Amino acid sequence: MRLVFAALIAALIGTLITGTALVLLLVRREARVSRLQADFVSNVSHELRTPLTSISMFVETLRMGRAKDPEQVSLCLDALARETARLREEIERLLDWGRMQAGRKVYARRPEPMGPVVQEAADAMRQALDARRQQLTVQIPGQLPAASIDRPAIVGSLINLLTNASKYSEEGMPVELGAAANSHSVRIWVRDRGIGIPPSEHRNVFKQFYRVEDRASRGVEGSGLGLAIVRHVVRAHEGHIELESEPGRGSTFTIVLPAIVAPAEGRQES
């Protein structure tokens, strides 16, 4: 009888401990989520405010007639166009993410030869990389197959990875964009020699709002949405994304998409 009683008490204590541990775990998770959300709001506000500040500065310069000659006016207008585009892109990204969350994001997929798709992302990024003296090497084999994709979504994902490769690397460090294929899939990778990501963070970086909190990435602007969006896009294409990275040595993000088995006809660029 005493033994049964002791066993009951032990079971009760065990349940209590497990229950308490579970509650603590949930509370910690909730706290982490609300901290991430608060950080997200402040990061997004910052990302929107930066181009807005530039826009009002250039508008003010023009309004006050401080741009003295046509060349200066043209420089101001170029800057206004650039900052407005940046603002529009950021807002589009937020709206896109909202659609993904609501399950309303529609992907218009059609067969596309992947060579020109990869090249499009490279061309779109070249100027931004040049501005940081980061040399972009592009390796696209001649016979890259086609894949069934929403072209703007995949090009946007590659641009996202290239933007990260640039901003998490020092000025002057090279960035590589490459592609390869086997009989059933196309692999597209973006490699940098930047600050890298510790192994314990490899899963976290794909979570929405998540930003690695280390000294090296502090001060780099971002909302923590980029990789979550890329992963969503890639999964919607029945693909996946891989990450190899070491702190201090750089990172390689690889998007893997199912290939359309027959090789694509036509020109492949490199």
Q: If binding is defined by CB under 6 A, does position 129 make contact with ligand ADP?
A: no
Q: What angle do CA 59, 64, 70 make, to 5 degrees?
A: 75
By rule CB under 6 A, what string of x and - marks binding of each residue 198-217 to ligand ADP?
A: -------x----xxx----x
Q: For the window 232-261, what string marks contact with ligand ADP as x by the rule CB under 6 A?
A: -------------------x----------
**Residue linked to tokens 């060579």:** 115
Alpha-carbon span 216 to 91, nearest angstrom: 27
Q: Is 168 in the site for ligand ADP (CB under 6 A)?
A: yes
Using alpha carbons, list the distances in angstroms from residue 65 to 60, 77, 83: 8, 13, 20
- Contact with ligand ADP (CB under 6 A): which of 192, 234, 255, 264? 192
Sole binder of ligand ADP in the list 197, 233, 234, 255 (CB under 6 A): 197
Write phi, then psi, for 139 (nearest 5 degrees).
Answer: -120, 105
CB atoms within 10 A of CB 252: 16
Nearest to 156 by CA among 125, 189, 114, 127: 125
110: three-class secondary structure by DSSP: strand
Residue 224, interface with ligand ADP (CB under 6 A)? yes
Binding of ligand ADP at residue 136 (CB under 6 A)?
A: no
The residue within the footprint of ligand ADP, chosen from 140, 225, 259, 260 (CB under 6 A), is 225
Tell me which stretch binds ligand ADP (CB under 6 A): 4-12, 108-116, 128-136, 164-172: 164-172
Backbone angles phi, psi at 7, to 5 degrees: -65, -40
Binding to ligand ADP by residue 165, rule CB under 6 A?
A: yes
- Least separation, in Å, of the C-beta of 115 and ligand ADP? 24
Determine the Cα–Cα distance for residues 161 and 179; give it in Å rounded to an integer: 14
**If binding is defined by CB under 6 A, does position 173 make contact with ligand ADP?**
no
Q: Which residues bind ligand ADP (CB under 6 A)?
A: 164-165, 168, 192, 194-197, 205, 210-212, 217, 222-228, 251
